[in-house]
Structure 1
């Protein structure tokens, strides 16, 4: 009897661990955006701002973290002091959005699968440059034709475009001297 109980005690955690691992590997589905969702960095209701939004699921948090702009959403993934146990990153699919002012409460695309238009004339929720997400290349190309910019994948969004304090992300200003490691 003791051997059976001991064997069960050793096998049960392994069996349950396999189930937990499968559950953890499936990312949570996106949430519908509501009036209760508050931007992580601005502390304001995300619906009060035009343009695309984002939300990130963190394994160590119960609720998703909301953002008033996609640029802020991407910045969260780049900043060293933010949690790194990211399960899913969802951004507004602007190819399916009713309008720029109303990006839609539930037309999300997983950010790592999206295409982004950067350096366009479109301004994000807080008035800065935006990384405008699309699930469809044709919709992204149409946006570029109308608003300028260029198309990049999630991993190709330049760090300085997202984290530049002036929101320009264009590199050195005119007349600036660029020095390399040897200087």
Structure 2
């Protein structure tokens, strides 16, 4: 009888704990601190210019952060990672400084517009500059070159130069 009672008490506790984990996983962008390192390459994130990225993973409380949107995409587009991602965030470069992007300017990466092939340099090769609007991306591309792309047009093949 004691085992049955303990089991009946244990089930609601397990349910409450599992619900709390799901609810506590925020989709809000997290600040990037001076000593944060890129989840992909290990470089110090704030040491380099250009847009940064971060994402959420199912069942994880840590927020993988990236020194560039390019590194974020290289991680996020891998088939083994793609299905684990809950959200992606990138800087809106139309409202923040290229040299020191402000963490208050993070936007949803899936609705952002991108400029690829720009003369503006980021950390690891060609920048994948991110913008909240198509107009912002177009203005940037007019000034610094590059092609304006949607989130869906960013592929592993594009990043690999194929």
TM-score, normalized by length of structure 1?
A: 0.72
Q: Which runs of 5+ in 1 are unaligned?
A: 172-183
Alpha-carbon contact 1:94-1:133 (below 8 Å) kept = yes
Q: How many residues align?
A: 159
Name the structure 1 match of 2:153: 156
Does the alignment pair 1:113 with 2:111? yes
Higher RCO (CA-CA < 8 Å; seq separation 6+): 2
| Cα deviation, residue 129, structure 1 | 1.0
Does structure 1 conserve the Cα–Cα contact (< 8 Å) formed by 2:117 and 2:145? yes
Paired residues of 2:52 and 2:68 also in contact (CA < 8 A): yes
The range that moved more, 43-52 or 73-82, is 73-82
Which sections of structure 2, spanning at least 5 residues, go unmatched? none
TM-score, L = length of structure 2: 0.81
Q: Distance in 1 between matches of 2:52 and 2:101?
A: 8
Residue number in structure 1 paired with 2:73: 74
User: Is the 1:40–1:67 Cα contact (8 Å) retained in structure 2?
Assistant: yes
Q: Deviations over 1:110-169 (max 9, x none)?
A: 10111111122222212x01211100222111101101112111111132122x1xxxx2
Aligned equivalent of 2:55: 56
Q: Which has the higher helix share?
A: 2
Q: Choose between structure 1 and 2: higher strand proportion.
A: 2
User: Pairwise CA RMSD of aligned residues?
Assistant: 2.9
